Amino acid sequence: MDVSLDNATILVTGGSGFLGRYCLQRLDKQRANVHAVSRTRNGRAADGVTWHQLDLRVPGAADELIATLRPSHLLHLAWVATPETYRDSPENVDWLEASLALLHAFGQYGGRRLVGIGSSAEYGFTEGACLEDVTAIRPLSIYGKCKAALSIATDAYANRFGFSAAWGRVFLIFGPGDSPLRLFPSLLAAIVAGKPVRLTDGRQIRDFIYISDAAGALVCLLENADANGVFNIGTGRGIAVRQAMECFADKLGARDLLQIGALPRRPDEPLSLVADMSKLERVLSWRAPTPFEIGLDAVLANAAPITRR
């Protein structure tokens, strides 16, 4: 089966999302035809991407697009991602259903290589680092459950239709261009406004991965059709949320604005979610290149000019 990217037709869903934009930057448009689906953009852009304006949840929409484009490669990123509400959103089941319709069409029309995107939320409460084929899957939120269901379904569809598939289980992404409601942008906005920030005790340990690195891992998986199954996408290094926020605030000389412990932690939030990265390193010699602090510097460098009031 020819799964090389030369003259491939790559379809990226969720192309205008946070990860989608970084993935599109990294795809080689000289080598492959790159198409992207978005609910907002349309037409051929200067960046060499052909955009298709489409809501994949509309019955028949995925089938029609796939029948027309016949993509050889699919990077399926589209999902509900609204900060604060996506975890328990009813839209998660709509995206699960839309994703199965998309995978079905992709297989039916000769698709050869698929990369889907999951989340550390698929693991739930864990002991120690999360290991792809060992750590139990016990998601707590509707989001984590729908992603976990799709992860297993992806494997079934790959068998059924004979395409190769990888599932990138992404840990906590951050970087320039993130939604204003997410951790660092909201922290930055508050600090710039000189407002105190009410926070939990921040004892949660998380694996923060720089957005451009996560996109690199996904593109690397798309290009390597022999890499099948689930792959964690993280750094392998756990950082306490408190430490991460203090590090960020220190760069702005604003640690005094952090009100650590002012809010309770969610009881359904795992204390630790850290990737064991040995599988991706073994299979594709891939390691996240960007240290956490360099990532934070990039967030600040790309933010609007900052003057603390």
One of 3, 54, 100, 257 touching a second copy (CB under 8 A): 100
Q: Tell me how far apart the alpha carbons of residues 280 and 133 are, in angstroms, rounded to a whole number.
A: 12
Stretch that binds a second copy, among 6-14, 36-44, 86-94, 180-188 (CB under 8 A): 86-94
Stretch that binds a second copy, among 45-53, 78-86, 89-97, 287-295 (CB under 8 A): 89-97
By the rule CB under 8 A, 269 interacts with a second copy: no
By the rule CB under 8 A, 26 interacts with a second copy: no
Stretch that binds a second copy, among 74-82, 90-98, 214-222, 296-304 (CB under 8 A): 90-98
By the rule CB under 8 A, 101 interacts with a second copy: yes
Q: Are 184 and 206 in contact (CB under 8 A)?
A: no
Q: Tell me how far apart the alpha carbons of residues 106 and 5 are, in angstroms, rounded to a whole number.
A: 17
Closest approach of a second copy to the CB of residue 101, in Å: 8
One of 160, 198, 266, 308 touching a second copy (CB under 8 A): 160
One of 41, 48, 57, 155 touching a second copy (CB under 8 A): 155
One of 31, 39, 57, 138 touching a second copy (CB under 8 A): 138
Please give the residue ranges that form the binding site for a second copy (CB under 8 A). Answer: 59, 88, 90, 92-93, 96-97, 100-101, 104, 133-134, 136-139, 142, 145-146, 148-150, 152-153, 155-157, 159-160
